[in-house]
Chain A
Amino acid sequence: MNSLILAVVGVGMMMAGYLLYSRFLARRVYTLDATFRTPSHELEDGVDYVPTNKFILWGHHFTSVAGAAPIVGPAVAVIWGWLPAFLWVTLGTVFFAGMHDLGALWASVRNRGQSIGSLSARYIGARGSRLFLVVIFLLLLMVNAAFAVVIAGLLVSTPTAVIPTWGALVVAVLIGQAIYRFKWNLPLVSAVGVAALYSLILLGDRVPVVLPETVLGLSPEAFWIIVLFVYAAIASVLPVWVLLQPRDYINGLQLFIGLGLLYGAVLIFRPEVVAPSFNTNVPEGTPGIMPLLFVTVACGAVSGFHGIVSSGTSAKQLDKETDARFVGYFGAVGEGLLALGAIIATTAGFRTLADWEEVYSAFNEGGVAAFVTGGGSILNAGLGIPTSLSATILATMAVLFAATTMDTGVRLQRFVVQEIGDVIGVKLGTVIATVIVLVVCLGLTFSAGADGSGGMIIWPLFGTTNQILAGLTLAILAVMLVRKRRPVLPILIPLVFVLFISVYALIIQLGGFLAEGNWLLLVLDVIILIAAVWVIVESAVALNRARTATPEADDEDERDSVVTGGGSQE
C-alpha cells in the first residue's frame, strides 16, 4: 500500500464526512439555524462573549484541541497494524468526533454558552456535575503524567531536540515582551519568532545534549521528568502573558507548519507502508486489539476534552449557529488529519518490515519516538531535509504540543485542587495547591518504577477517561434530542459504543494492574470504572425521563436556561 493512497483515502473520507454527514447532522439532527441569536450576540461583553469570524474561531478551536495526544495514540496503536488504526481514526473522526464536537457546540449555544459541567447538571441531574469534576480531575492528572513521560522520552531519544525545546521558552518570553511591553507589530514578531524557533532547531541539530547515564543519582528520563514538572509548576504560576499565551501562539503556528511539511513530504515522496495491515505477529505482552485499540486512540477518533473546549470558549464566540458545523466538525477533521499523519509516519517511515518490527518490539515501545524517526525519514526523502534535522523538527513539534498541554494542565489542576480545598473548608494558596499537584502527578508518574514509566502505562487509562467524558457529552446531546423528538440514533449508537468500550477496557486493565500488583493504578482504574458505571446509570435514567416527558419546543431549553439563570460557570 502506498502512503499517498492512504493519505488521499483518509483525507477523502474525512472531507466527505464534513461535506455530507455534517450537513445531515446540521440540517436534520441539530437543525442549526442561521437566524438564531447566539450567546456571543445576546450576552456580548467583549470578554467571554465575542462574535468571532468562523475561520479565526476554527483556528482557536483547532489549536486548543490539538495536542500531542493525536500523535501519541495512533503511534502506539499501529502495533496492531495500520488498517485498524486507520479505520478507527477516519471513521471515528467522521461518525464520532465530528458529531460530538459539533453537538457540544450546539448544546452550549442553545444554553447561553454554558459549559459541559453545567449542562450535565441540567440534563443528566445534580450528581452529573459532581461526576464531571471527578472525571476532569482524573483526566488532567493523567494528561500531566503521560505527557511528562512523552517529553522526557523524546529528549532522551532525540537529544538534538533539547536546545529547541528549552530555547522555545526563551522565544515565547521574548514574544510576550515584544507584544505587551514594546507593542511591536504582531505579523513581524510572528515571523521573527518562527525564524528564531527554526534557528534553534538548526542549532540543536548541530549540538545534541546527551545526559550522562545518571544525573544526581537519577536516570536521564527521571531527571527530565522532574525538571519538566518543576518547570510546569513555575510556568503555571507566572502571569499568563509572560509565557503561556505566547507559547500557545507559537505552538499554534508550529502546528500548521508541521502539518504542511508532513503532508507535503508524503505528497512528493509517496513512501510505501511497510507495516502490515493487520499485525498477526504482535510482540509478547501486547494487549488484545479489542477493546484496547479504541481507548489507545482517543484524541483523533473521539475525545471528551473537545467538549470542554467547545462549550468552554468556542460556543461563547460563535457568530452564527450555522458556523458550528465548520468550527466544531471541521475542527475534529483537523485533529483527525494530525492522527492520520502520525499513522503514515509510523508505518511508512521505515525502510523494511524488519526495521519497523525492531522499533515496535513491545507495546508502548514505538510510540511517539517512531513518529519522529519515521516522519523524519519521510521529510528527508520528500523535502530533502537532512534526516537528523527532520527528526529534530518533528521531535520539537511533538514536545511543544505536549509541553503546552502540560503547562495548561498543571495550571487547571491547581484550580481544581483549590476548588476541592474550598469544598472541604481549607483555603489553599497558589503555591501550596501547585505543590500538591506536583506531588500527586510525580507520584503517579513514578508509581511503576524509578524510570517514570508509570506515565505511559496509564496512557490507555487516559483514553478511557477521555471517552467517558465524551460519553457524558453524548448523553447530554441524546437527552436534548429525545426531548425534542429529533433523530437520536447518530448520537445513541456512538454513546453506547463509547461507554461499552470504556467499561470493557477498564475491566481488562484492572486484571493487568492486579496481576502486576500496581495498587496505585488499580485504585485509579476502580475510580474510573465507578465513574463509567455512574455515567451509564445516570444517562439511562435521564434518557428514560426524557422519553416519557412531554415533547418540548425547539427553543425550550434556551428559555429554561434563562429562567434558571444559566450562564457560564467556568
Chain B
Amino acid sequence: MRERWRAFSAGLHEFYVAPYRRTFARARRDEDDLFRLLVMSEMLGVPNPASYYTAELLPVLYDGFHDWHRRMGMERSPLENYRCC
C-alpha cells in the first residue's frame, strides 16, 4: 500500500514538473553561465575585485567549461591556461 502511494505521489510530481522542466533547466543554465562569467572575468581581461575569492571556484567550474564556450559560440577554449579541447 505504501509502495503504491509512493508511486502515485511520484507520478503526480512528474505530472506537475515535467511540462516546465526544460524552462527551469534553461533558466538554471543561464544563471550558471552568468556566474561562470563573473568567476572567470579576470581571466577574460575584465578586472574583478573579488577574484581573490572566486579563483578558488575555478576548478569546480572546469567540468562545465567546454560546454560553456561551445554555447557561447567559441569552437575552441578562449583561455590559454584553460584547455579542454
Contacts and interface: CB of A to CB of B under 8 A. Distances in A.
Interface of A: 46-48, 50, 52-53, 55-56, 59-60, 64, 179, 185-187, 190, 239-241, 244-245, 248-249, 252, 313, 317
B30 to A, nearest CB: 13
Contacts, number: 52
10 contacts: A47-B22, A50-B21, A53-B14, A56-B11, A59-B15, A185-B9, A186-B13, A240-B20, A241-B20, A248-B19
A53 B7 CA distance: 11
A56 B19 CA distance: 11
A59 B15 CA distance: 7
A248 B21 CA distance: 13
**Which of B12, B15, B25 has the most chain A CB atoms inside 10 A of its CB?**
B15
A317 B21 CA distance: 12
A60 B21 CA distance: 12
Main secondary structure of the interface of B (DSSP, over half): helix
Contact of B11 (A48, A53, A244, A252): A53
A252 B12 CA distance: 11
Contact of B19 (A53, A190, A245): A245
Given A186-B13, A248-B19, A249-B15, 8 more contacts: A47-B21, A56-B11, A56-B14, A56-B15, A59-B15, A186-B16, A252-B15, A317-B18
Nearest to B13: A186
B8 A187 contact: yes
Given A47-B25, A241-B24, A60 B18 contact: yes
Nearest to B12: A186
A76 to B, nearest CB: 29
A50 B20 contact: no
Nearest to B5: A187
Nearest to A59: B15
B24 A60 contact: no
**Which of A56, A185, A252 has the most chain B CB atoms inside 10 A of its CB?**
A56
A52 B14 CA distance: 9
Q: Contact residue range for chain B?
A: 10 to 19
Main secondary structure of the interface of A (DSSP, over half): helix
Interface of B: 8-9, 11-16, 18-27
B53 to A, nearest CB: 29
A239 B28 CA distance: 13
B68 to A, nearest CB: 16
B26 to A, nearest CB: 8
B24 to A, nearest CB: 7
Contacts of B21: 47-48, 50
B37 to A, nearest CB: 20
B31 to A, nearest CB: 12
Nearest to B14: A56
Contacts of B12: 186-187, 190
B82 to A, nearest CB: 24
**Which of A55, A245, A252 has the most chain B CB atoms inside 10 A of its CB?**
A245
A249 B16 contact: yes
B9 A245 contact: no
A57 to B, nearest CB: 8
A398 B83 CA distance: 57
Contacts of B9: 185-187
B22 A48 contact: yes
A55 B11 contact: yes
A544 to B, nearest CB: 37
Minimum-distance CB pairs A-B, first 9: A47-B25, A245-B20, A56-B14, A249-B16, A48-B22, A240-B20, A186-B12, A240-B23, A186-B13
B14 A64 contact: no
B66 to A, nearest CB: 15
B20 A244 contact: yes
A378 to B, nearest CB: 29
Contacts of B14: 52-53, 56
